[in-house]
Amino acid sequence: MTIKAESPFIAWPPAGARLLFVAQDPATSVHNLIPGSLPTAIASHFAGEGGGGRGRLPLPPREAVQAWLAQAGIDEHTAIVVYDGGNGSQAARAWWVLNWAGYRRVSILAGGLNGWQAQAAQPQQQAAITPSAGAFHEVTTEEIARRPHDFLLVDARNHAAFAGDGLVPSHLPAAINLPMAALQDEQGRLVAL
């Protein structure tokens, strides 16, 4: 898997970008979103059907991601900005899935909805997103089981979910727990390790 060297975070959505608000649950109410945002949800847009050893939120079929984006008028040339109303983990998942599905002009709004609301009175100019080459290789659980020492598995869920107190208790063997909250400052922005 190739990961972009530059930061995926931007301070302000560039003109013409499609904004995707990402919620954990499709039933989440969507009030006070950035105007023009398309409400999405992890379970219905950025995950496939779980169960049967696939986990709770496995990757969706690439074709399914491409189909709903096409219905929304988004193609591989569209600049996409994802954001959420929480700690950024939903936006991070959406960013990763969109890159995996072949979309290269994807950014994460730094600070998410709360950051945008705090800065809304002070619009900023943001340079256009420049596409970058990249290729993702999907690694299956079977591949990890065959070559466990070739991978560092990081589980970014909270300690309770990692330990087995979450909705579906589980984590992959040999995974380490580095909760998303430990990687953020008080405003929900990622901090350097």
**% of the chain surpassing 70 pLDDT:** 81
Whole-number pLDDT of residue 121: 55
- At 157-178, the pLDDT tens digits run 888 878 876 566 567 778 888 8
User: What mean pLDDT is predicted for residues 65-80?
Assistant: 93
Which has the minimum average pLDDT: 43-47, 123-127, 169-173?
Answer: 123-127
User: What mean pLDDT is predicted for residues 45-71?
Assistant: 88
Whole-number pLDDT of residue 66: 93
User: What mean pLDDT is predicted for residues 122-131?
Assistant: 47
Of 119 and 190, the one with more pLDDT: 119
Whole-number pLDDT of residue 53: 73
Which has the minimum average pLDDT: 23-27, 40-44, 91-95?
Answer: 23-27
Whole-number pLDDT of residue 160: 81
184 and 190 Cβ atoms separated by less than 8 Å: yes
pLDDT at 1 > cutoff 90? no
CB atoms within 10 A of CB 32: 10
Whole-number pLDDT of residue 126: 45
User: What mean pLDDT is predicted for residues 111-140?
Assistant: 64
User: In which band, very low, low, confident or very high, does the pLDDT at 90 lie, cut at 50, 70 and 90?
Assistant: very high
pLDDT at 97 > cutoff 90? yes
Q: Where are the domains of the chain?
A: 9-119, 141-183
- Beta bridge pairs of residue 38: 20
pLDDT at 125 > cutoff 80? no
SS3 71: helix
Whole-number pLDDT of residue 135: 52
**pTM (two decimals):** 0.67
Looking at the domain covering 9-119, what would its CATH class be? alpha beta
Please list the helix, strand and coil fractions of the chain in percent, rounded to the nearest 5, in that order: 25, 15, 60
**pLDDT, mean over the chain:** 81
Burial class (CB in 10 A: 0-12, 13-18, 19+), 5: exposed
